[in-house]
Structure 1
Amino acid sequence: MVATFQIIGHKKSGKTTLINDFFKIGQQLGYEIAVIKHTHGPVDIPRNTDTGKFYERSNDVLLINDTQTIHYQRNIQQSALAQIRQMQNTTKADFLIIEGLKELDYPKIALLKKDETPAVFGEISQIKHFVSIQQTTTTEDLLSVMDLDVRKEFITKFLRE
């Protein structure tokens, strides 16, 4: 099964930046990375397109072409965890990053915004690293990864472990 971990943090903490860096560095190391993105709002599909019209009228739309497939579903009967397990068993990726869903029990990297401390994550389980793209100071419980070279080193070490 694919190695799975989470990247969690509050809005605008740098989750997308860090995940994009995982993609770039992972690719350089020869790894394939898959991602699950949790979103709090509905998926926005423009209604004035064919896809939007189909999505508006159906709970299950599969878009396919010669190079990609996108499956849009509403009213899903499976839990998020069941869907994640399904992807874990079907992806060909080396790593699966789950963005968000902090209540799940996977190893986590917690991103802190400027002036946040690890205490903001209270009782969240399995946090392996507290990092910040916004804070300049590294402390005993927080690694500053503002510097791109430090971030690359952190990601490389994380993926190899």
Structure 2
Amino acid sequence: MVMVVMPVLQVIGYQNSGKTTVMHHLLRAASEAGLRAGTIKHHGHGGTPEYANSSKDSSLHFQSGAAISTVEGDGAFVVESESGLADLEKLLTFYRTLPLHVILVEGYKKEHYSKVAVVRREEDITLLEASNIKAVISAVPDIHTKLPVFKFNDPESYKTWFLKWIKEA
């Protein structure tokens, strides 16, 4: 059996820098190219994420003591788990079992995967000190780096880069 390595690209930036907007554009690019992308978002604001509907059976299972609860229907599913049950590596291991072409991760600045840094303000340039930066998406003019730099308001340019990156990863 040949093991295929699924590319993982992190989108990092400080709060309100536009990471979610960049993720949206990258996901659209993948979808338009016929690729399946999975996403993982780091809830870096402290505490556990909010859940969509606490009155559904799967949430009631969780509230009754299940460490993890999944609801599936027609091949789609929603998972809810207790705090501390999974970290990024465990989530990536799970995602790699799915028929995906790429995994996009929003956040987790300190992880080691390939990254795109979203720089909205001059002080955000410190993000370029993170490991494994492959490109910069910036609203700041004249960033001096050897990395590819794309304008935040020109998503077509970084979407093209992203599709090429997937093929080369």
> TM-score under structure 2 normalisation?
0.77
- Cα RMSD of the aligned pairs, angstroms, is 2.4
Instruction: Say whether 1:34 aligns with 2:38.
Output: yes
Q: 1:83 aligns with which of 91, 109, 122?
A: 91
Instruction: Say whether 1:23 aligns with 2:30.
Output: no
Q: Distance in 1 between matches of 2:11 and 2:89?
A: 16
Question: Deviation digits for residues 73-118 of structure 1, max 9, x if unmatched?
Answer: 1144454323323322x02111111111111111111111133342
Percent of paired sites with the same residue: 20
Tell me by how many angstroms 1:11 deviates: 1.1
Question: Deviation digits for residues 4-61 of structure 1, max 9, x if unmatched?
Answer: 1211111111111111111111122222111111113312126762344433222322
Matches within 5 A, 1:126-137: 126-132=132-138, 134-135=139-140, 137=141
Matches within 5 A, 1:3-152: 3-40=7-44, 41-45=47-51, 49-51=55-57, 52-58=59-65, 59-88=67-96, 90-118=97-125, 120-121=126-127, 123-132=129-138, 134-135=139-140, 137-141=141-145, 142-152=149-159
How many residues of Structure 1 are paired with residues of Structure 2 in the alignment? Answer: 157
Cα separation, partners in 2 of 1:130 and 1:60, compared to 1, 3 Å: same
Q: Distance in 2 between matches of 1:138 and 1:154?
A: 19
Q: Distance in 1 between matches of 2:23 and 2:86?
A: 26
Q: Distance in 2 between matches of 1:91 and 1:123?
A: 32
Q: Distance in 2 between matches of 1:32 and 1:47?
A: 26
Cα separation, partners in 2 of 1:150 and 1:75, compared to 1, 3 Å: closer
Q: Is the 8 A contact 2:29 2:159 kept in 1?
A: yes
* Stretches of structure 1 lacking an aligned partner (at least 5 in a row): none
Cα separation, partners in 2 of 1:48 and 1:101, compared to 1, 3 Å: closer
